[in-house]
Structures are given as C-alpha cells and as structure tokens.
Chains A and B, each alone.
Chain A
Amino acid sequence: MFIKTIFSGFGGQGVIMMGYLLATAGMYEQKNVTCLPSYGAEVRGGTANCTVVISTEEIASPVASEPDFAVLMNNPALLFYQNQVQSGGTLFLNSSMIDSRPVRGDIEIYEIPVNDLVKPLGEERVGNMVMLGAFIKKSALVSLDTMHRVLKDTFTNRNPAMVKLNRQALLVGYDFLGP
C-alpha cells in the first residue's frame, strides 16, 4: 500500500488541518505517513495545499507528483490538480464552490456540496470535516473509528466543544455519500 493524497483550497478552508488529521489517523493505524504542507510565499497567493502519503513501506519522498486522491475545495485547486491525478484516481470536489468539471474520463469524481451540508451545523468552519468524512468513507484509507479518536486527541485540550462539532460534521460527510 502506497497512497498519495493532495488537499487543496483557500487558506481559511482548513486544508492543512484535513491533511494533518488524515496523516495522524494513518499513524494511529500503524502506517508510515508523511504530511507536507505548502509554505512561505506559496501561501501568500491565498492558496494552501497539503500532500499526505500513507504507506505500509518506508516513504522515500513526501512530494506527490501523481496523487491517487485529490480533495479540492475551490476552483483554482481543480484547475491545478485535475490533470495531475493518476489514471484511475479519484477526485473529491467541493461542489458548492467549484463550477466546472474535469473533462477526463479515467478518474472517479465525487461531488460534495460542503458549504450547503455544513449550514445546518451552524458553524461554517467545520466544512473541512464534512469533506474529510466523505473522503474517508470512499477512500477507505483509515477507519471512521480511528478518525474519531484522532479528533478527540487533537481537540480535547484546545477546545472540547470542537470535538463534538467536528465529529458531527465528519458524520454528515461520511453519511452523505451513501453506503
């Protein structure tokens, strides 16, 4: 197993948090993981991205030239990454913010209307968790249980209220894509 995932979107969309949580969950499941966020002037333009590798073997490079999965939160992200994904790979699109669709036929596409799904929760900031829920369901890279543990460990000290809210948002995304 050697799976590369790219998360990309605007700075405030919690893109790096998604990558961090996925990599941590991989670590909890005894896998090798790397997580490489964008940094410095790259971030100045307002885009953020994060590459996560989860593997049963040692990871040589944390840089993913041809990711298996791309989780894209806005239009620029789609433009940039749609042609980099491996043939047979999968795109997760935030369909509330991305209008166009890739023309390639050799990839699977899931559309998740993150901004609409997050509204009933009353806290827009957890949109990234909705997306992450959908992602772990279809990618099956890590289990829902593990992600629940990761959320608990990550947020309990920072803001206990966020554990519950994040878990709720995660489930909204997880359930959205059906069984």
Chain B
Amino acid sequence: MAFAPFHARRSQSRSTVPKVLMRGNHVVAEAAVRAGCRFYFGYPITPQNEIPEYMSERLSKIEGGVFIQAESEIASIHMVIGASMAGGRVMTSSSGPGISLKQEGISFLSGLELPAVIVNMSRGGPGLGNIAPAQSDYFQATRGGGHGDYRTIVLAPNSGQELADLTFEAFDLADKYRTPVVILGDGMLGQMMEPVEFRPEIPIKKLPHKDWALTGAKGRPSRFIRSLILDPGEEEEHNWKLMRKYEKIAREELRWEAFAADDAKMLVVAFGTAARIAKGAVKRVREQGLKVGLIRPISLWPFPFKALRDFSKKVKHFIVFEMNMGQMVEDVRLALEGGGEVHFYGRPGGIVPTPLEVSRVITSQYYQKRLG
C-alpha cells in the first residue's frame, strides 16, 4: 500500500506523537536509509515486496541513492558485493526461495570479508511453499547456508521497533566485522504495522572510513579483494583469521533477553514472532501461578549457549517453541549439554499459533513434570 510509508515519515515531523505506525517491511527500509544505506539491490518476492517498493521511491529521491530491481536474486546479491567493495552501505532482501539463491553470494561476502545486510522475511517452505509466516529458515541462516567454513551474524527481531533498531545495528556490525549480517524476520513481522520510533539519520560523512575499499588507486598502493587463495597454507591462515573473527563476535555480540526467569522452574525458549507469542503464553500461565519464564535469543548466531547452560544449573525443564518442526531446538540441546530436559513444540510454516495454544502446551508439560 503506497500511502503508509511516505505520509508516515512526514507526519512524524508534524504530529505531536513521536512514533509512526508503519508496516514492518517499510520499517526495515526506512531504518536502513537512516543508517546510511544508499544501495539496495533486490528482486520481488512475497512477503517482503514492500522493502524494494519503498526503496525504489525513497532512494530515487536521495542524492547518490541507488535502487536496482535485478533480474534475479543471484544478480542482486552480486550487485551487493560490488557496492560493498566500493565501500557503500548496502542491503538486499528476500524470502525463502530467493534467500536460497543468494547463498552463493553470501559465501563470497564471507570469504571476501565484505559488509552487507541481508533481510529474510521468511515464509513456509521447502520449495515454493507458501507466503505465510514461518521460521523454517533457522538452519539456513545460522549455519551459513552456502559452501565453506563461515558464519553470518543473524539477528531475529520480534517487533516493529526491533526491526528498526536491529536494522541500524546490523549495518554497524557488518562494517565493524566486515561480514554479512542477516536479519531473520518472517511474513508476519514484515506485514504487520506497529508504532515505531526511528533513530535520527546518520549523515553519510559520519560513517566509518573504509581503508580497504576499492576506489581507484589514486595516491596510494593498489588493493585487491579476493576469496581465492591457491596456496593451502595461506588458505588455512585466511580461514584461521575468519575463525578468530567469529570467536570475537561470539564473545562480544551476543544478544538475548529473559522474562520472568528468576524464580522459574520451567523455561520456554523462542525467537522472533514465536517469542512474542510465547511471552503472551508465559504471562497467562504466570497468572495461574505456574513458575515459568522465557528466554529469547535475539542473536541466533552467535547463539546464547552459555546463558542457557547457566540457567540449566537452576532450571531443569525447557520447552522450545518454534514455527517450524524443530531447528533452534538443536542449539538449545547443544547449549544444555544434557543438563536439562527439552520438550519441543512446533508447527510447520503457515499457521501462527495463538498464545492460548502455547499456554496449554506449557501447562500440560508443567504438570506432567510434577512442577506444580
């Protein structure tokens, strides 16, 4: 819908309310522009079409803004590589099938050590699947998805406000570590409108200088950016360097949140949309006196392994809730190292479960484990 984005930006300055009501996809696009993104390359796919549509208009009105609807997702991710080599802040977005096609470029971005932001508003799959919200791309996002030994930072927002904030952070993280950052949303987050308060726009001049970018070797030695390293020893060193970077990210860029976890006898673990629903469910069962809390990983990679392990010293019962048939649950099991019992509840893509439904699962598990 064309009316929402542009009027929203304007009305923000005139109305007395600091927030604007915006569709998630528009929020990502607007936040990206404010974070200094001047290059967007994409390809239509539901449920994220509002991102390229917004960018086509927004960037065409900004000096130096570039929008291209490429001929495919493969082309668009390689356009991203080009603009990133040139030092720009650059973004692409897609969903399921399109993200699969981008994997080649994501592997290259990682090997080439180039910053970029990749948004996945995921939908039901595999194959064409459908366009309803789902979380079945967790493995693809957190395991890299393409070939080679690499990781991408994966951020999983659960609201309009977080879409804005994490988009901002994604650009900073990408530049700081010279690595691609994935924002893993879903069709619901992309389509839903919520009140959002944006950070002010960062002037392009204030963005960090990139002393590795290809700009033409004027007055300096020439540079090259490559992932092909034929010498096995050198290749090994390159991979060690990447690993050291990933270890640093795993130490320093963890993001997670706990709710009602202090006295909990049972913890629900969920991310993104599922975490919102789980929080609603946890509040319900708390009203009935059940001591249940919620852990929400916000960075899916790095995953809060240690935090979960620490909780397992006090809490022995975990429920993992996902809108897929069990992906993050593997990381939770890894984190607990056998130190807790894990029950999985999931529904495959297409249906967004209600808080009531999830609260029933929690209640039944709670009593089965004789916690109440």
Contact = CB atoms under 8 A, between A and B. Distances in A.
Contacts of B3: 17, 20, 154, 158
A40 B47 contact: yes
A86 B242 CA distance: 56
Contact of B17 (A27, A34, A37, A158): A27
A36 interface: yes
Contacts of A58: 279-280
B193 A36 contact: yes
Contact of A60 (B191, B192, B355): B355
A18 interface: no
Given A28-B17, A153-B15, A154-B11, A39 B131 contact: yes
Contacts of B56: none
Interface in A36-73: 36-37, 39-41, 58-63, 65
Contact of B15 (A36, A149, A158): A149
A35 B281 CA distance: 20
B15 A34 contact: no
B226 interface: no
A63 B236 CA distance: 50
Nearest to A42: B131
Interface string A130-174: 000000000000000000010001111110000000000000000
Given A63-B352, A158-B7, A39 B46 contact: yes
A91 interface: no
Interface range on chain B (Cβ under 8 Å from partner): 20 to 34
Nearest to B17: A28
B207 interface: no
A155 B354 CA distance: 35
A6 interface: no
B14 A153 contact: yes
Q: Is the interface of A mostly helix, strand, loop or mixed?
A: mixed
Contact of B1 (A16, A32, A60, A153): A16
B193 A61 contact: no
B279 A60 contact: yes
B188 interface: yes
**Which size class do A's interface residues fall under?**
20 to 34
Nearest to B191: A39
Interface string B1-33: 101101100110011010101010000000000
Nearest to A27: B195
A41 B131 contact: yes
A128 interface: no
B268 interface: no
B324 to A, nearest CB: 17
Interface in B185-234: 187-188, 191-195
Contacts of B283: 60
A93 interface: no
Contacts of A129: none
A36 B192 contact: yes
Given A61-B354, A63-B352, A156-B14, A40 B46 contact: yes
A156 B3 CA distance: 12
A60 B353 CA distance: 11
> Which 7 pairs, one residue from A and one from B, show the smallest C-beta to C-beta distance?
A60-B280, A35-B193, A40-B46, A153-B11, A153-B15, A40-B131, A60-B355
Given A33-B195, A34-B192, A149-B15, 8 more contacts: A24-B21, A27-B21, A27-B195, A35-B193, A60-B277, A61-B277, A63-B352, A154-B7
Interface of A: 16-17, 20, 23-24, 27-28, 32-37, 39-41, 58-63, 65, 149, 153-158
Interface of B: 1, 3-4, 6-7, 10-11, 14-15, 17, 19, 21, 23, 46-47, 131, 187-188, 191-195, 276-277, 279-281, 283, 352, 354-355
19 contacts: A20-B21, A27-B21, A27-B195, A32-B195, A34-B192, A35-B21, A36-B192, A36-B193, A37-B1, A39-B131, A60-B281, A60-B355, A61-B276, A61-B280, A62-B188, A62-B192, A63-B188, A63-B352, A153-B14
